[in-house]
């Protein structure tokens, strides 16, 4: 039996270039928001398929391999394993995290290429490219650097300027220089295949106009780029690492990494459907997420990827036909490191493996969510991280849980108190507040306003602390005639709200939420419980409470990360 009220939701997450470890900017930009969003929808009972994989191709990988004197495959495998460890430590739960280095992906990509060619949206033409006369090689994408013609950043690359987010043609770079020899490139002709993007301007504009719920910066950037006339894009490169072009005479060329990486969302879904992880045991079930018009697809990417997901990939999907366009591309802005953008390719990053070696994963998830760059760039500092950990996570949530459990343990024989026959106004009001938070918090998560969702939950924690101060069960217990019943009601109420809060916080804090449920004497995970209030049961034995989080010292944390900052780069 399928429940028709349950939605099919594809969570498509940016494919990281496997040329370095992930850093905190990646986690806050794409992976953590995708995981929070997916956890929420899984708890709602929706059918979530969350896929991504390592981008094993492209010049970021080959440039690094040449720098180290190893093969591109060595580089790709090293960082693919690093990504898997990071996701495991941080609790990022993919249904499938694969790579572009699979025969399935090559097949799906070549099929896509040939279909677009048959549909008449690809054409072959001679292209003028930059060529290094010293080493006698063409310089695709990242093999050339120079000054951005749009924002004057000196760090623009042949494919893109990270500083202003524009996609570039290497020929537009001011004062280009070769990454291979540092020489000034010359121009040379080469035959390539092009995607006729210009043919999609009108359709894309009409489609984007309907997306009034998108983040304004994503929609406006995309509409602006289309309005300025879309140039056709070459989708093959003079490289030998990558997916072969399924056309005769192209042995020395490969399909452009961006063209094939976005196809990865589709090929990963197909790979997942054919794998044992698909309990439906039906290799065609990927179609429910890609072909059913009721299904929803969300692309979690950083702002530098907006053009590829809001323009180029939709154009490819329109050209292919029969596949769903993005429901939303809730791209995040950048997480800056004290004013410097953290770039995987260029330093000043805090590497995910270092961070997760030293920090509680939920503490990191909390801080990154609370200052997630959803609508504008935000700055990550250790000072702010420690403040959020100590003043918010520990003081407002961790201590609340610990305090209520300690008092209950000491005064109620380590059991959840009896449910009061009558609740006072303030007690029933607090329980109601926590129950209503499921709607408010859920709506925020559905709109991918994750900071807001977290804030809605934390406000319930604040209200519970205030309630405890007002009711002061520790004082009430000193009154031997009425105190016990009064304190019993207070603690029962607080424990009930804590149980609800554990569920509300699960998308952001999955590890500690499970711990809270265990401390309340419940079995099963918060995720399995589903998105609804979690009743507590009187007389349940409570285990000895253990603190959820630790207070941190800013100096210690800064010292720790000053010394490890560069160890993995």
Q: Three-state SS across 338-394?
A: CCEECCCCCCCCCEHHHHHHHCCHHHHHHHHHHCCCCCCCEEECHHHHHHHHHHHHH
Residue 337: CB minimum distance to Zn ion, A: 19
Query: Which DSSP letter does residue 7 get?
Result: P
Residue 523: CB minimum distance to Zn ion, A: 54
Query: What is the rounded distance in angstroms from the CA atom of residue 343 to the CA atom of residue 25?
Result: 8
Query: What is the rounded distance in angstroms from the CA atom of residue 239 to the CA atom of residue 254?
Result: 6
Binding of Zn ion by 173 (CB under 5 A): no
Query: What is the rounded distance in angstroms from the CA atom of residue 556 to the CA atom of residue 169?
Result: 46
At 265, give phi and psi (nearest 5°): -60, -40
Residue 153: CB minimum distance to Zn ion, A: 5
Pick 150 or 199: Cβ nearer Zn ion? 150
Pick 147 or 348: Cβ nearer Zn ion? 147
Residue 174: CB minimum distance to Zn ion, A: 11
Within residues 58-97, the interface with Zn ion by CB under 5 A covers none
Residue 148: CB minimum distance to Zn ion, A: 3
Pick 148 or 407: Cβ nearer Zn ion? 148
Pick 4 or 376: Cβ nearer Zn ion? 376
Residue 379: CB minimum distance to Zn ion, A: 21
Pick 164 or 463: Cβ nearer Zn ion? 164
φ/ψ region of 229 (left if φ > 0, alpha if ψ in -120 to 50, else beta) reads left
Q: Please give the full DSSP string across 249-281, using - where no structure is assigned.
A: T-TT-EE-HHHHHHHHHHHHHHHHHTSTT-TT-
Within residues 186-205, the interface with Zn ion by CB under 5 A covers none
Q: Structure tokens of 438? A: 């499921």
Query: Which DSSP letter does residue 98 get?
Result: E
Residue 302: CB minimum distance to Zn ion, A: 15
Pick 148 or 301: Cβ nearer Zn ion? 148
Question: Would you say 109 and 260 are in contact if contact means Cβ atoms under 8 Å apart?
Answer: yes
Residue 168: CB minimum distance to Zn ion, A: 8
Pick 164 or 247: Cβ nearer Zn ion? 164
Distance of alpha carbon 131 from its chain centroid, rounded?
Answer: 37
Pick 169 or 532: Cβ nearer Zn ion? 169
Residue 159: CB minimum distance to Zn ion, A: 12
Pick 163 or 238: Cβ nearer Zn ion? 163
User: Closest by alpha carbon to 8, among 244, 381, 280, 218?
Assistant: 280
> Inter-axis angle of helices 32-43 and 361-370, to 10 degrees?
100
Q: Structure tokens of 152? A: 């004057």
Task: Spell out, one character per residue from 105 to 134, where the chain touches Zn ion: x when CB under 5 A holds, - when not.
Answer: ------------------------------
Pick 116 or 331: Cβ nearer Zn ion? 331
Q: Structure tokens of 303? A: 């702002």
Residue 161: CB minimum distance to Zn ion, A: 3
Residue 162: CB minimum distance to Zn ion, A: 8
Residue 254 pairs in a beta bridge with: 237, 244
Within residues 481-540, the interface with Zn ion by CB under 5 A covers none
Residue 199: CB minimum distance to Zn ion, A: 27
Burial 262-294 (b: 16+ CB within 10 A, else e): bbbbbbbbbbbbbeeebeeeeeebbbbbbeeee
The residue length of the chain stands at: 569
Residue 149: CB minimum distance to Zn ion, A: 8
Q: How far apart are the first and last CA of the chain?
A: 51
Pick 305 or 496: Cβ nearer Zn ion? 305
User: Closest by alpha carbon to 416, among 500, 532, 521?
Assistant: 521
Pick 61 or 148: Cβ nearer Zn ion? 148
Within residues 129-168, the interface with Zn ion by CB under 5 A covers 148, 150-151, 153, 161, 163-164
Total binding residues toward Zn ion, as defined by CB under 5 A: 7
Query: What is the rounded distance in angstroms from the CA atom of residue 123 to the CA atom of residue 144?
Result: 25
Query: What is the rounded distance in angstroms from the CA atom of residue 292 to the CA atom of residue 274?
Result: 19
Pick 156 or 491: Cβ nearer Zn ion? 156
Contacts of 316 (CB under 8 A, 6+ apart): 112, 116, 195, 259, 262, 263
Which residues make up the interface to Zn ion (CB under 5 A)?
148, 150-151, 153, 161, 163-164
């Amino acid at each position: 039996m399928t429940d028709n009220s349950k939605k099919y939701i594809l969570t498509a997450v940016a494919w990281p270039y496997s040329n370095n470890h992930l850093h905190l900017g990646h986690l806050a930009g794409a992976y953590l928001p995708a995981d929070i969003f997916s956890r929420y929808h899984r708890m709602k009972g929706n059918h979530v398929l969350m896929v991504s994989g390592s981008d094993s191709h492209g010049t970021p990988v080959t440039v690094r391999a040449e720098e180290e004197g190893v093969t591109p495959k060595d580089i790709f495998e090293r960082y693919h394993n690093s990504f898997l460890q990071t996701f495991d430590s941080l609790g990022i739960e993919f249904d499938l995290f694969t790579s572009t280095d699979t025969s399935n992906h090559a097949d799906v990509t070549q099929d896509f290429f040939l279909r677009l060619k048959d549909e008449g949206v690809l054409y072959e033409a001679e292209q003028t490219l930059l060529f290094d006369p010293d080493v006698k090689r063409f310089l695709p994408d990242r093999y050339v650097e120079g000054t951005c013609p749009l924002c004057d950043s000196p760090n623009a690359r042949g494919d893109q300027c990270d500083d202003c987010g524009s996609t570039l043609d290497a020929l537009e770079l001011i004062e280009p220089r070769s990454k291979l020899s540092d020489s000034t490139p010359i121009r040379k002709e080469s035959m390539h295949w092009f995607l006729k993007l210009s043919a999609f301007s009108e359709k894309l504009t009409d489609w984007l106009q309907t997306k009034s719920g998108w983040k304004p910066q994503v929609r406006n950037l995309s509409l602006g780029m289309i309005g300025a006339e879309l140039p056709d894009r070459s989708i093959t490169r003079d490289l030998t690492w990558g997916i072969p072009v399924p056309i005769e005479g192209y042995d020395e060329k490969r399909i452009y990494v961006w063209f094939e990486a976005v196809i990865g969302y589709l090929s990963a879904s197909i790979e997942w459907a054919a794998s044992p992880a698909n309990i439906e045991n039906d290799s065609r079930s990927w179609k429910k997420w890609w072909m059913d018009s009721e299904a929803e697809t969300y692309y979690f990417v950083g702002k530098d990827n907006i053009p590829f997901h809001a323009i180029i990939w939709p154009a490819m999907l329109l050209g292919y036909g029969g596949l769903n366009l993005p429901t939303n591309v809730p791209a995040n802005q950048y997480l800056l490191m004290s004013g410097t953008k953290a770039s995987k390719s260029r330093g000043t990053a805090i590497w995910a493996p270092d961070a997760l070696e030293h920090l509680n994963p939920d503490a990191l998830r909390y801080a990154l969510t609370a200052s997630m760059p959803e609508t504008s760039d935000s700055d990550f500092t250790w000072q702010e991280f420690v403040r959020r950990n100590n003043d918010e996570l520990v003081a407002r949530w961790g201590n609340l849980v610990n305090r209520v459990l300690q008092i209950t343990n000491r005064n109620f024989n380590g059991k959840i108190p009896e449910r009061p026959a009558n609740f006072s106004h303030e007690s029933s009001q607090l329980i109601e507040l926590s129950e209503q938070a499921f709607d408010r918090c859920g709506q925020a998560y559905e709109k991918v306003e994750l900071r807001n969702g977290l804030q809605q939950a934390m406000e319930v924690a604040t209200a519970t602390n205030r309630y405890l101060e007002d009711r002061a069960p520790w004082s009430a217990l000193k009154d031997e005639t009425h105190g016990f019943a009064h304190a019993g009601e207070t603690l029962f109420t607080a424990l009930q709200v804590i149980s609800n809060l554990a569920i509300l916080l699960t998308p952001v804090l999955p590890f500690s939420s499970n711990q809270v449920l265990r401390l309340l004497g419940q079995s099963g995970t918060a995720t399995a419980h589903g998105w609804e209030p979690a009743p507590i049961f009187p007389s349940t034995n409570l285990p000895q409470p253990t603190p959820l989080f630790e207070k941190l010292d800013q100096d210690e944390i800064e010292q720790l990360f000053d010394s490890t900052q560069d160890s993995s780069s």
